[in-house]
Amino acid sequence: MDIDKSRNFSDWFNTVISDAALADLRYNVKGFVVFRPWSVKSMKLMYAAYEDELEARGHSPSLFPALIPESNFKIEGEHVEGFTPQVFWVEQAGGNKLEERLAMRPTSETAMYQMYALWIQGLADLPLKIYQSCQVWRHETKATKPFFRSREFYWIEAHDCFSTEKEARAQVKEDMEMTEAVVHQQFGIPFLFCQRPEWDKFPGAVHTYAADTLMPDGRVLQLPSTHLLGTNFAKAFNVNYQDEKGNRSPVWQTCYGPCISRIYGAMFSVHGDSKGLVLPFDFAPLQAVIVPILGKEKDGLAIMKYAEEVLEHLHKAGLRARIDSTPSTPGFKYNHWELHGVPIRIEIGGREAEQKSLTLVVRDAPPKTKATIPLASAAETIRKEGRLLSARLVSKADAYFNSHQAHAKTMDELKAALERGFIVRAPYCSMEKEEGKACADEIKAKLVGDVRGIKYGEAAPAHGEKCVQCGKAAKHFAYVARQY
The answer to whether the CB of 454 falls within 8 A of the CB of 431 is yes
Which of 8, 15, 36, 473 is the binder for a copy of itself (CB under 8 A)?
36
52 burial level (CB within 10 Å; 0-12, 13-18, 19+)? exposed
CA–CA dist 484, 480 (Å, integer): 13
Q: Is 93 in the site for a copy of itself (CB under 8 A)?
A: yes
CA–CA dist 143, 322 (Å, integer): 39
The answer to whether the CB of 38 falls within 8 A of the CB of 337 is no
Q: How many CB atoms lie within 10 A of CB 460?
A: 9
- Residues β-bridged to residue 28: none
- The residues, ordered by sequence, that sit 6+ positions from 117 with a Cβ below 8 Å of its Cβ are 237, 238, 239, 240
Contact segment (CB under 8 A) with a copy of itself among 36-44, 166-174, 194-202, 233-241 equals 36-44
- Residues β-bridged to residue 477: 427
Which of 77, 85, 300, 318 is the binder for a copy of itself (CB under 8 A)?
85
CA–CA dist 350, 301 (Å, integer): 10
Q: Is 28 in the site for a copy of itself (CB under 8 A)?
A: yes
Q: Which is nearer to a copy of itself, 124 or 459 (CB)?
A: 124
Contact segment (CB under 8 A) with a copy of itself among 25-33, 186-194, 329-337, 352-360 equals 25-33
Q: Is 94 in the site for a copy of itself (CB under 8 A)?
A: yes
Which of 8, 14, 15, 40 is the binder for a copy of itself (CB under 8 A)?
40
Q: Which is nearer to a copy of itself, 23 or 360 (CB)?
A: 23
Contact segment (CB under 8 A) with a copy of itself among 66-74, 163-171, 299-307, 453-461 equals 66-74
Q: Is 247 in the site for a copy of itself (CB under 8 A)?
A: no
Q: Is 154 in the site for a copy of itself (CB under 8 A)?
A: yes
Q: Is 74 in the site for a copy of itself (CB under 8 A)?
A: no
Least distance (Å) from a copy of itself to the CB of residue 355?
Answer: 32
- Maximum CA extent, the chain: 86
Contact segment (CB under 8 A) with a copy of itself among 29-37, 292-300, 419-427, 448-456 equals 29-37
Which of 114, 144, 325, 381 is the binder for a copy of itself (CB under 8 A)?
114
Q: Is 148 in the site for a copy of itself (CB under 8 A)?
A: no
The answer to whether the CB of 171 falls within 8 A of the CB of 177 is no
Contact segment (CB under 8 A) with a copy of itself among 60-68, 185-193, 240-248, 461-469 equals 60-68
Least distance (Å) from a copy of itself to the CB of residue 90?
Answer: 5
CA–CA dist 480, 398 (Å, integer): 19
Query: By C-alpha distance, which of 81, 110, 104 is closest to 236?
Result: 110
Q: For the segment 313-332, give every residue that binds a copy of itself (CB under 8 A).
A: none
CA–CA dist 239, 68 (Å, integer): 18
Q: Tell me the CA end-to-end span of the chain in Å, nearest whole number.
A: 25
Which of 6, 10, 60, 274 is the binder for a copy of itself (CB under 8 A)?
60
The H or E element that residue 300 is part of is helix 300-316
Mark 115-144 with x for binding to a copy of itself (rule: CB under 8 A) and - for no binding: x--xx----------x----x-x-x-x---
Q: Which is nearer to a copy of itself, 93 or 391 (CB)?
A: 93
Which of 15, 84, 144, 381 is the binder for a copy of itself (CB under 8 A)?
84
The answer to whether the CB of 268 falls within 8 A of the CB of 279 is yes
Q: Tell me the CB-side half-sphere exposure of residue 26, using CA atoms within 13 A.
A: 4
CA–CA dist 375, 352 (Å, integer): 9
Contact segment (CB under 8 A) with a copy of itself among 23-31, 215-223, 226-234, 292-300 equals 23-31
Which of 14, 15, 69, 82 is the binder for a copy of itself (CB under 8 A)?
69
Least distance (Å) from a copy of itself to the CB of residue 116?
Answer: 11
Query: By C-alpha distance, which of 174, 188, 198 is closest to 343?
Result: 188
Per-residue CA distances from 184 to 47, 175, 222, 286, 393 (Å):
15, 13, 14, 21, 10
Which of 8, 14, 15, 64 is the binder for a copy of itself (CB under 8 A)?
64
CA–CA dist 125, 131 (Å, integer): 16
Coil, strand or helix at 426: strand
Q: Is 86 in the site for a copy of itself (CB under 8 A)?
A: yes
Contact segment (CB under 8 A) with a copy of itself among 58-66, 294-302, 418-426, 453-461 equals 58-66
CA–CA dist 477, 189 (Å, integer): 24
Number of residues that bind a copy of itself (CB under 8 A): 52
Q: Is 24 in the site for a copy of itself (CB under 8 A)?
A: yes
Using CB under 8 A, list all residues that contact a copy of itself.
24, 26-29, 32-37, 40-41, 44, 60-69, 72, 84-95, 101-102, 104, 111, 114-115, 118-119, 130, 135, 137, 139, 141, 152, 154
